[in-house]
Structure 1
C-alpha cells in the first residue's frame, strides 16, 4: 500500500470513529421525547409490560438523561400502590437510585438546572410517599422534604416548567390538609401548605405539562372531589376516561364517585363495565376494586345477598387483605350475616385489626363492633339499624325514621343497641328538618346508661 492510500485509509478510519463517538455522545432527543410520551400513554392504557420496555429503550438511547429511569420507577410505584407487592417497592427504589445518580452530577455542573431539579425533586417526593405507605415515617419525612424544596426551587427558577408544578402542587395541597395540631412541624421542616395554590399548580400542569399532564389531571380531579367541587372533578375524570377508555382504574374511580353521589344505577353500570373490560384482558387491573365498589353499592341498597357475593369476590381477588380497612371487613361481615352466611361473616370479622394509632375513632369503633359480633350474631334490632342507616344514606328519611323507631322497640333492655337506634333516629329527624323530634330524641338518649356506646351520650 503506498503512502497516499495509507493516508486516505487513516482519514477514513478517523472519520468513522469520530462519527461513532458523536453519535454515542449525542442521543436523538426527538426520539427520546417521542418514546417517553409513548411509554406514558402505554402506562395509562394499562399496557404496563409495554411501558416498561419503552422506558427501558429511553434509558438505552439516553443513558445520561433521567427520563428513562424516572418513568420506569414511576411504573413500579403505581404497581406497588395497587398491589402492595414488595417486589415492586424494591424495583421502585432501585430505579429511583438511578435517577439520583444521574441528576446529582448534572446539578453539580449547573446548579440552576431547573429541569434536573424537577426530576430529582419528583423522585424524592415519590420516595417519600413510598416510605410513608410502607410505614417508614422518618425516611418519608426526610425524602419528602428534599423533594419539596427541590420542586420549589425548580418552579421559582422556571415558572414555565409546568411539569414541575405537578409535584409542587401535590405537596402544597397535601401539606395544607395536615391537621392544625401538626402545623408547627411543617414550619420546622420548611414546608408551606397552600390548598388553592396547590390546586392552581396542578391545574397548570394538567393543561400545559409535557410529561405530567395526565398524572396532574388525575390528582386534581381527586382533590377537587374531596373539596366538594364534584362538577369540576367529574369533568377532569371524564376527560381521562375519554382519552384512555381501556383504563379500568378510571372506570372504577368513576363508579365509586357516582356511588357517593347516590347515582346508584350509573355507579353499577360503570363498575360492571370495568369488570367486563377486564375479562377481555390477559392482565387485569382494578378488578378487585370493581367488586368492592359493587359490594358497597348493594350494601347501601340493602341488597345483602348481592353485597355478600361481591364482597366475597373482592376478597378472592385482592392481594391486600392486611390493608383492607376495618369498615370494609365489618360491612362485608354484616352483609354475609344478614344474607344468612354466618360462617363467612366470622371470617370477615376476624380480618379486622386493632388500630395502632390514636385519634382514629371510627377505625377503633369498627374493630370493636367486629370483636363483639365474633361473640354473638346480629340481633333483629341491629339488622334494622343497619337497614335504617342505609335508607338514610339514600336520603329516604321517612323510611329511616320508621326503621330506627322499630329497632329501638325491639332492642329490649339493651342500652347499647337502644343508644345506636336513637342516635340514628336523631340524625334522620334532623336531616328531615324535624327539629322538635330530634330534640325529643336527644332528651330520650340522656335517660340511657350504655356500657359501650357512651360516646353517644352528650
Structure 2
C-alpha cells in the first residue's frame, strides 16, 4: 500500500530531489535556508505527489516570486508538464510546455551553480533535467535536441561519477545516456559519430537495473523508466517484472497500475490485465482522465473478447 501521505503517483525521476543526501542539500545551505524552511515548499511537494497540480502550481508560483533564483522551485515547476506528458497521454502541448519550463529551470540552475560551485544538489538537478529533455525530445522525434540534451546531461552525470561512481543517481544518468545513444535512429547517427559519442542499449538497461536495486527513492525512478522502456521496446516479460514491483510498492498509483495492465495484456494474460485496468477505472484520477479513458477502452476490448 502506498504511503498515506503520498496516496497517488510517484514518478520516474521525480523522487530525484528527495534522494539527495543531507550533505548534498547542505552544500549550499546558507543561500537556500529561507527556501528550505518555507512551509510552502513542503506543502507544494506534498500536493505534487498527490497530483493535486492546481494547488502545487499555485504554491510554486508563490515560491518563485518570493525565492527567485532557487533551482528547486523551477525544477518542480517543470516537472508538472513532464509528468503529464511522459506518463499520462504524450500530448504535444505538454511536451512543449515542459521543454519551455525546463529550459528556464536549467538557466536558473546554471546561474546558481556559477555562484555556488559546491552545490552538488544543483548538479544532480541539471543532470536530471537534461536527461528528461532528451527523453521528451526523442519521443517527439526532435532528435537533435535529444542528442544535445543527452550530451549535456551526461556531462553533469560525469561530475557525479567523479564524486561517487556507485551513486545510484549517477547510474541512472549513465543508464539513460547509454540507452539514448544506443537507440539513436540511423538517419541522425552521424551526429553522434561526429561528436565521438556512442552508446550501448544493453549497458543502459543494466545500469538502470542496478539503480533499481538501490536502497533509496531512486530505485522507484529506475523501475518506472525501465517499465516504460521495456514496454516501448516490446520486452513485455521484463515490463511485467518491473511494473509488478512498482504496484507492490504503490498499489493505488494509477500510472503503475496502468503500465502493469499493459504488460499483462501484451503477454496474453487478459484476465489479470482486465483486473488492473478495472482498478484504474475505479480510481478515476481527476488529473489523469486520459489514463482512465484508455483503461476503460482496453477493459471493454478484453471483456468483449
TM-score, structure 1 as length reference: 0.50
CA distance in 2, matches of 1:161, 1:199: 16
The answer to whether structure 1 residue 289 and structure 2 residue 301 are counterparts is no
Higher Cα Rg, which structure: 1
Aligned-residue CA RMSD (Å): 3.8
State the partner residue of 1:155.
161
**Could you tell me how far 1:138 is from its partner in structure 2?**
3.0
State the partner residue of 2:142.
136
CA distance in 2, matches of 1:23, 1:35: 18
Deviations 1:157-179 (A, max 9, x none): 33354334323322212322346
Give the 3 Å change call, closer, same or farther, for CA 112–160 of structure 1 in structure 2.
farther
**Could you tell me how far 1:119 is from its partner in structure 2?**
1.6
Tell me, what secondary structure is at the counterpart of 2:99?
helix
The answer to whether structure 1 residue 29 and structure 2 residue 45 are counterparts is no
CA distance in 2, matches of 1:228, 1:130: 21
**Could you tell me how far 1:50 is from its partner in structure 2?**
4.0
The answer to whether structure 1 residue 165 and structure 2 residue 174 are counterparts is no
State the partner residue of 1:341.
none
CA distance in 2, matches of 1:140, 1:272: 36
**Could you tell me how far 1:126 is from its partner in structure 2?**
2.4
State whether residues 59 and 68 of structure 1, in contact with CA within 8 Å, keep that contact through their aligned partners in structure 2: yes
State whether residues 170 and 202 of structure 1, in contact with CA within 8 Å, keep that contact through their aligned partners in structure 2: yes
State whether residues 236 and 267 of structure 2, in contact with CA within 8 Å, keep that contact through their aligned partners in structure 1: no
State whether residues 114 and 153 of structure 1, in contact with CA within 8 Å, keep that contact through their aligned partners in structure 2: no
How many residues are aligned here?
274
Q: Which of 63, 66, 73 is residue 68 of structure 1 equivalent to?
A: 73
**Could you tell me how far 1:194 is from its partner in structure 2?**
2.9
CA distance in 2, matches of 1:57, 1:236: 37
Tell me, what secondary structure is at the counterpart of 2:34?
coil
State the partner residue of 1:146.
152
**Could you tell me how far 1:253 is from its partner in structure 2?**
1.3
CA distance in 2, matches of 1:151, 1:209: 20
State the partner residue of 2:220.
214
State the partner residue of 1:391.
none
Tell me, what secondary structure is at the counterpart of 1:245?
coil
Tell me, what secondary structure is at the counterpart of 1:27?
helix
CA distance in 2, matches of 1:209, 1:96: 28
Q: Which of 239, 243, 266 is residue 237 of structure 1 equivalent to?
A: 243
CA distance in 2, matches of 1:210, 1:65: 25
**Could you tell me how far 1:265 is from its partner in structure 2?**
0.8
1:3-82 matched pairs, under 5 angstroms = 26-27=33-34, 29=36, 35=42, 39=45, 42-43=47-48, 45-53=50-58, 55-56=60-61, 59=64, 63-81=68-86, 82=88
CA distance in 1, matches of 2:41, 2:82: 22
State the partner residue of 2:198.
192
**Could you tell me how far 1:189 is from its partner in structure 2?**
3.0
State whether residues 209 and 223 of structure 2, in contact with CA within 8 Å, keep that contact through their aligned partners in structure 1: yes
Structure 1 segments unaligned to the other structure (5+ residues)? 1-21, 299-305, 308-458
**Could you tell me how far 1:31 is from its partner in structure 2?**
6.2
CA distance in 1, matches of 2:158, 2:189: 19
TM-score, structure 2 as length reference: 0.70
State the partner residue of 1:274.
280
Structure 2 segments unaligned to the other structure (5+ residues)? 1-28
CA distance in 2, matches of 1:43, 1:83: 18
**Could you tell me how far 1:107 is from its partner in structure 2?**
3.4
Deviations 1:183-203 (A, max 9, x none): 554332343323343234324
**Could you tell me how far 1:268 is from its partner in structure 2?**
1.2
State whether residues 248 and 274 of structure 1, in contact with CA within 8 Å, keep that contact through their aligned partners in structure 2: yes
